[in-house]
Each structure stands twice: as C-alpha cells, then as structure tokens.
Structure 1
Amino acid sequence: MSDNSAGPTAEPITPSAPEEFGLVQVWWGDGKGKTTAALGMATRAVGHGYRVHLLQFMKGGTGTVEDVRGEYNAIAALPGFSYENAGHYGWHGFMDGSDDDEHAARAQGALSRAREILDASADADLSEPLDADGPPEDGVNMLVLDEILYAANRGLVDPEDVVSLIENKPDDVELVLTGGHDSPEYVFEHADLVTEVGKIKHPLESGHSARKGTEY
C-alpha cells in the first residue's frame, strides 16, 4: 500500500482503457462554468490515460480573444487530449456583423464531424488503450461537444440530430454535451447526468469584460 502521508503525488500518464465509460452528460444553463466543468472532467480523464477530444460548436468570440484561448495551450500540452473549433467568429443572432448563414454552416459541419468521430470510435477497439498521439479518427474514449445545445437552441442544428448522436454513439464512449440557456428537454430522457448551471451574479453585469485566464 502506498504511503499517502505526504499527500497525493502525480504519476506518469500512460494510455489506458476506461472500464466504465459510456454515459451521456448534459451541462446547460444561464450561468458561467459549463465549458469549464466539462474541460475539468476531460482533464481528469486524460490524467488516467484516456483519449479525449473537444469539438466546439459555437465558441466564436472575436479574433482578439479566440486566437489566444488559454485552454488550447493547455490541451496541446496534455497527452491524449485534442481539440478543434468549428465555430465562426462573432455570435449568431447578435447583430455583430458576422454572417448568420456562416454560423449555421459551421454548426452543421461540426455536427457531421461529431458523427465522423463517433463512427470511427465504433470501429475502434476501445477495450484497448488508444494512442495518445493518434487522431480522433482513430477513436476516442470521451467526446465533448461544447456549445452543441446552444447551437440547437438557436436552430443552427436540429435537436433531433442531437438526439440521433446520442442514440447512435458507441456504448463505451462517454459523451458530454454543453451549452444553451434554454432547457434542452429533448435530451433529458436520453442523458444519464443533467446539470443546470444557474446564474446568481456575473461580473459582466457590473461592467467587467471577459478576462484573460478566466473567460478565455
């Protein structure tokens, strides 16, 4: 038995196959922290040697923010963790000069990409460790679809297509869906965990802009 008197210690990360993955998690609400929670859980999975991919649907932001997101640097430094951002600069429906049709096209492309990764994972042997440096097309243990529920709320993707992703995912892939201020009731009966992140107070309301290191 290990001596934990000095506190927990970090161990080298080696590829491993999870024994109990396969649930569907949903994080939604008008509060800050949905993506943050999903990324924290993904980091935990990576720490056990599992293969995780983050696919973002709506993190458009602006060129001055999106290009320097801190989580991308952190993900790139972690073995077994990869990401891609399918979002369009700006925010759909916010009259910010961005092209709403382009937002829709990007969201549909992300939906197709999610299907591709899930299909590839169905063809992979997930009972064996996956190559930490391998592409998501070789299969993943956890797929985080960030802001997909926001895209569905805004009509950029059909909620039924989101349900179809859940119904057709491999049994041993953990699927995490985030986003949206409107209740995504269409996924509730298909999900194993549903968490509503509610806003009590937000610094934006008192004039604070998005801050480097907390919001991006």
Structure 2
Amino acid sequence: MTDNSSDADRDAQHSRTPGEGKTPESQPIEPSAPDEFGLVSAWWGDGKGKTTAALGMGFRAAGHGYRVHLLQFMKGGAASVEATRGEYNAIDVVSGFTYENSGHYGWHGLLDGSADDEHAARAQGALERARELVAAADEADLTAPLALDGEPDEGVHLLILDEILYAANRDLVDPDAVADLVDDKPDDLELVLTGGHERPAIADRADLVTNVRKEAHPFDAGHRARKGTEY
C-alpha cells in the first residue's frame, strides 16, 4: 500500500527546490541574465583540465542564455596540433558564446622556432584586450539579458581569460596588472582565470581556487596532443 503521507511530504519538499524534483532536460536557449554572478575563479596546477573546466563553465552558462566570451592567451598553435580546434567549432554553434585568440605560434621558453619577444608582445596585447572587455562589461547592465549575437564589447556575463595565469607566471604580463584587472571588474561580472603551474598571485582575490594536480599524464609517456582531447 502506498504511503500517501510520505508522497505528499516528498512533493512538498520538491516544490521548495529550484528544480521541483523534475528530471533535467534541455530547453531552447533564450537571452537571460544570471541572478548570482560576480565571483572570481582561478584554475591552476600542473595537471590537465584547467581550460577544459573553464570551457565547461562557459558552455553551461551559455546554455542558460547568458553571454559568454573566451579570450585565450599564449595558445597560438603548434606543430603538434592541427589548426582546427574542437572547442572553437563547438563555440561557433552555441548561441551567446564567442572566442578570440591572442597567442603566438609555439610556446614561450621552448626551442620550437617561436620568438619569446613575440610571445610577450602578444600577451601584453591580450592583457590590454582583457582590460577593454572588463571596461565594456562595466558599462553594460549585467543584471539584464544581453543580445546573444552581440559583440563582446557590448558586455558579457561571463569572461574566461584562459592561460592568463601562465602568462603572469612567466612574466609575459605583470602579475600586479592581472590583480588590478580582477579588482577593477564590475560586481556582476563572473570572471574565470586559468593557467600556470605555480600558485597565482591573485589567489587571495579569488572566490574559487582549484589546484589541478597531476598524478599521471600521457605526455610523460611520449604521447602528443590528441585530437578531441587536447584540441
């Protein structure tokens, strides 16, 4: 026999939760505004998954109709990867999610034919671009929906600065300038920073700090970057 009182109690409990106890399902993406954005997240460490985690946050936010932009430092391409990146293809078909890349070919400090001075110049340019995006967000009403096809210069709800912490670790950009960027962000802008194997100087300013630690990595066994997992 069904315990109707227990069912009623459970239904009442579910009714007080955001999902009302319903099984999650997809819905059409419509412009919306977040109620609780405004935190700073920092993902660093020697393990794989920092950019992957940030992209996951971006796709999740875009799925709710929030405006998201990804600005990548340092990742300008390399001989070990193809020019096409899976994440860029996916971003292109998701409403409200955009990206731009400010990296130089190769990787700073490696004998890969790339110029370290150019890496520094590109990183400085990316930092200036990040300042522009933060200033644009400060001018926008982030408590309201933003056009999903609008330019990031018109404001975004979530800004991902991928590998900016790595650039700061390697002194390609001034760590104090990155700290100033965090301090200058508007209250309602959700800011995600990734990169680096050393604890970032802005860690004390962040609300979420995650150290992605390596226990094993395919690269250590001689594997190159794999299509669909690393790019």
**Fold shared per TM-score above 0.5:** yes
Matched, 1:9 2:25: yes
Deviation at 1:103, TM superposition (A): 0.4
Residue pair 2:133, 2:155 contacting (<8 A) in 1 also: yes
Matched, 1:160 2:176: yes
Q: Distance in 1 between matches of 2:184 and 2:225?
A: 37
Q: Distance in 2 between matches of 1:60 and 1:198?
A: 24
Matched, 1:60 2:60: no
Matched, 1:29 2:41: no
Q: Distance in 1 between matches of 2:53 and 2:26?
A: 21
Q: Helix, strand or coil: the match of 1:189?
A: helix
Q: Helix, strand or coil: the match of 2:77?
A: coil
Q: Distance in 2 between matches of 1:49 and 1:90?
A: 35
- In structure 2, the partner of 1:205 is 220
Which of 169, 176, 190 in structure 2 is aligned with 1:174?
Answer: 190
Residues 175/3 of structure 1: CA separation in 2 closer, same or farther (3 Å cut) = closer
Residues 66/182 of structure 1: CA separation in 2 closer, same or farther (3 Å cut) = farther
Q: Distance in 1 between matches of 2:97 and 2:155?
A: 12
Matched, 1:75 2:91: yes
Give the aligned length: 214
Q: Distance in 1 between matches of 2:229 and 2:77?
A: 14
Letter in 2 for 1:169: K
Matched, 1:119 2:135: yes
TM-score, normalised relative to structure 1: 0.95
Q: Per-residue displacement from partner, 1:78-107 (whole Å, max 9, x unpaired)?
A: 000000000001001112110111100000
Q: CA RMSD in A?
A: 1.5
Residue pair 1:60, 1:66 contacting (<8 A) in 2 also: no
- In structure 1, the partner of 2:106 is 90
Q: Distance in 2 between matches of 1:203 and 1:47?
A: 31
Moved over 4 A (4+): 1-5
Q: Distance in 2 between matches of 1:136 and 1:3?
A: 34
Q: Distance in 1 between matches of 2:195 and 2:188?
A: 23
The 10-residue stretch of structure 1 (26-35 or 203-212) with the greater mean CA deviation from structure 2: 203-212
- In structure 1, the partner of 2:8 is none
Matched, 1:19 2:35: yes
Q: Distance in 1 between matches of 2:199 and 2:141?
A: 35
Deviation at 1:53, TM superposition (A): 0.3
Which blocks of at least 5 consecutive residues in structure 1 are unaligned? none
Deviation at 1:151, TM superposition (A): 0.2
Q: Distance in 2 between matches of 1:114 and 1:203?
A: 32
Q: Distance in 1 between matches of 2:82 and 2:35?
A: 35
Deviation at 1:61, TM superposition (A): 3.0
Residues 139/12 of structure 1: CA separation in 2 closer, same or farther (3 Å cut) = same
Identity %: 67
Residue pair 1:17, 1:126 contacting (<8 A) in 2 also: yes
